[in-house]
């Protein structure tokens, strides 16, 4: 089973402002401007390749606040120890789990999942720390916000990566894809 991260960050490594806002991310308001056109940076192709999306409570709530549920009938698991109920606008394919990344990984593997998308800062950090991420795609947006929610946090050991692909876009976005080769 493959587990992947696919995320955008500021140049200084933040995935959101401290209050969770994504106003620095073009298109986060649902509109594209003339500098970004219809470019999806490979996101739709990536989403077509996964069969389960795992996100944390904060990411779930941020997605809900943006309007309609964007994942259709794609299986989504919200990891949370405090969330008790899902919003009405989510599909029947969304469920809440309060287990560890290792336990969820084992459960998904037994269920036959092939490719898992891990999203949300704390969730990504938990899966990384557990050694359960195979691939990371980070799209750097050319903006520095100075503070916010970091993509990465403290780790018990180094994580070594192998570059797989690098792309630059006309608007200054730079996307790097890495394979995790080992944790030291």
CATH number at residue 106: 3.40.430.10
Where the chain has pLDDT below 70, the residues are: 27-38, 183-184
Q: What is the pLDDT of residue 90?
A: 80
pLDDT at 29: 46
Q: What is the pLDDT of residue 52?
A: 97
Task: Check if the beta carbon of residue 21 is closer than 8 Å to that of residue 148.
Answer: no
Q: How far is CA 162 from CA 9, 167, 177, in A?
A: 19, 15, 9
Report field, pTM of the whole predicted structure over 0.75: yes
Q: Which domain holds residue 163?
A: 2-183
Strand residues in the chain grouped as ranges (E): 2-10, 14-16, 52-56, 75-79, 94-97, 115-119, 135-141, 149-150, 159-168, 174-183
Residue range 108-119, pLDDT digits in tens: 999 999 999 999
- Structural domains in the chain (count): 1
Per-residue pLDDT at 55: 96
């Amino acid at each position: 089973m493959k587990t992947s991260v696919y995320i955008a960050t500021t140049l200084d490594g933040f995935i959101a402002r401290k209050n969770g806002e994504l106003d620095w991310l073009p298109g986060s308001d649902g509109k594209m401007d003339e500098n970004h056109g219809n470019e999806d940076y490979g996101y739709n192709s990536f989403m077509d390749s996964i069969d389960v999306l795992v996100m944390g409570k904060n990411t779930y709530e941020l997605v809900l606040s943006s309007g309609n549920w964007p994942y259709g009938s794609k299986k989504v698991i919200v990891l949370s120890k405090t969330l008790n109920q899902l919003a009405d606008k989510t599909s029947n394919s969304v469920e809440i789990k309060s287990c560890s990344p290792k336990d969820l990984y084992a459960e998904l593997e037994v269920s036959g999942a092939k490719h898992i998308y891990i999203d949300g800062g704390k969730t990504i950090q938990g899966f990384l720390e557990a050694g359960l991420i195979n691939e990371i795609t980070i799209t750097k947006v050319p903006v520095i916000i100075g503070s916010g929610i970091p993509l990465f946090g403290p780790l018990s050991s180094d994580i070594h990566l192998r570059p797989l692909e690098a792309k630059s876009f006309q608007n200054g976005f730079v996307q790097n894809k890495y394979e995790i080769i080992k944790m030291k």
